[in-house]
Structure 1
């Protein structure tokens, strides 16, 4: 009985060792193939670099630039990615995109239908990097598939936004209502002013997380033409939406009537106190100086710090902070005044 058990265990051990040996051989063979492929790719990159750069700079696409093998395809892809990152000229970027379209679009089209998630995502990454508009229909088809992952949805929508696809507003507002604020912001950040204005016009019918993204992007644009839009949202909203609208106004650094926002310096909401202090500093609103000095004693460090920074924006800011250091009995106020006095950010 014991001998039978030992024989069985030895047999299992031999099978396991055999499997491990096969696995080791497979890994060695795969690594060897990868090294050989990498070597070929580097060789092709050296051979193709001058010709590819010539095509990008002149628009003359040489027939010898072909991506008809895996190594050549990878070499072309890597070179185009490199030049896409460093070239700034409009004509050069256009030539690069056309070259990518002519040499790689077929591979990427097939990759979008791959059963491997990594292959599909790699294709999406490069399609976006090269702005390959010819594949927009394929991207839209991909978004309709039942197996598409959230990461693919976001990447696909980002690409459509980047090429200013006319249907992006409908897609985002009707078919993809479950994304987060950051995901919406990532998508909408690719839009030009005309595209963003479409979302501004339909703002009140958008889901809340999408509204947050719109407000934040409008603030980042710092466009005074958007001022009425942001002020309207602030006046007609509450909670986080109202705070984000105030943040956008502070980012723009202007408001049509500062007196409407001065009372917020004593708001029970610390975020409103902080953002109104920032707005007062951006506008150098003299009427707010006394309240800003009081905010140096605020219970919130963020409010105190913003009050100190805003005071430095006034012509007499350094003098005001020095007076606080010398006369205030509040240790928080003194510390914050000293900190901003020594940050070298005084602006005249």
Structure 2
């Protein structure tokens, strides 16, 4: 009986202590939220004035507390997301360098993995060149996790770090996705210079990544360069050249393209068909008819779709359906003729 009484008393005490803890915690959180809200009210108009060059920098009257830095990060981050003005972006990035450099240097040495990662994300978002050497040193320290290392690579790429670029050129064994993310972040003028002057000296993995990024940019000044890559010994590079021609919708090698309909690789035959469908040159109609009998379903479909773009494409497909002896060619032609009829209804 005594044991039961003590157990009940212990549980009551435990519940009381837990309730008090939750009440105190809630009150502290409420106080923190109120304090943060007050800082937001005071700091937001200041950031607005700084971004519009009405004042220079944040006044020293603000106490530089952890809550102040938290509000500053959130407010500047919001402005950078909402406004694309490059001048405003440069002003706000300068504010973060002045206010947050010393804070981030300390946090980068924190024992907390999440705190270090958060700093690295902020350094990238705010393009903090003031921390470029710190990030480079930490990258080579051997103390970082793989996630941190990947993020530091992204940061250094965003900051156009030439040391990282040299590493990519000569000793990079990074995965394709990371190489692509790097080249997306580097100034495109840097990427273009590498493509024009140093592409052959790079490993195939790096070449493929940088060419894919260049294709995404659709820079017409690179058309001639991609045309030259059609004759590369590397299949992956040739595929990128065909993809570029498809994206740019122009080439100086219209006659040479025809040879790709006889390629040993189905991807090259498919890409030829797609390019032919965009360029719509009469010389491509016969190779496209040949590809209607291809062993690859993807190639046959691409060839038929390409012929549909020709002025006389329907007549060609109808002729194939009525006269071609190959069952693949007849079936594919029939499918796309039916599709054309459905679309006209």
Q: Are positions 1:182 and 2:177 aligned together?
A: yes
Instruction: Provide closer, same or farther for how the CA distance between residues 82 and 291 of structure 1 changes in structure 2, counting only shifts above 3 A.
Output: same
1:120-152 alpha-carbon deviations (Å, 9 max, x no partner): 111111111111111111111111111122332
> 1:100–1:130: 8 Å Cα contact kept in structure 2?
yes
1:21-55 alpha-carbon deviations (Å, 9 max, x no partner): 99999899777755654454344223322221221
TM-score by length of 2: 0.80
Separation in 1, partners of 2:180, 2:208? 8
> 2:266–2:296: 8 Å Cα contact kept in structure 1?
yes
From 165, 168, 182, the equivalent of 1:169 is 165
TM-score by length of 1: 0.79
Separation in 1, partners of 2:125, 2:110? 20
Match of 1:333?
Answer: 333
Q: Are positions 1:221 and 2:217 aligned together?
A: yes
Match of 2:252?
Answer: 256
Match of 2:48?
Answer: 53
Separation in 1, partners of 2:39, 2:340? 56
Match of 2:205?
Answer: 209
1:214-272 alpha-carbon deviations (Å, 9 max, x no partner): 22122223234323433333313233333233323333333222121112123332101
Separation in 1, partners of 2:19, 2:322? 75
Deviation of 1:317 after TM superposition, in Å, equals 4.8
Q: What is the aligned residue count?
A: 328
Deviation of 1:209 after TM superposition, in Å, equals 1.5
Q: Which runs of 5+ in 2 are unaligned?
A: 1-12
Deviation of 1:342 after TM superposition, in Å, equals 5.9
In terms of mean alpha carbon deviation, does 77-86 or 35-44 score higher? 35-44
Separation in 2, partners of 1:39, 1:295? 70
Separation in 2, partners of 1:307, 1:123? 51
CA RMSD across the alignment: 3.5
Separation in 2, partners of 1:255, 1:334? 31
> 1:124–1:156: 8 Å Cα contact kept in structure 2?
yes
Deviation of 1:206 after TM superposition, in Å, equals 1.7
> 1:270–1:300: 8 Å Cα contact kept in structure 2?
yes
Match of 1:194?
Answer: 189
Q: Are positions 1:310 and 2:276 aligned together?
A: no
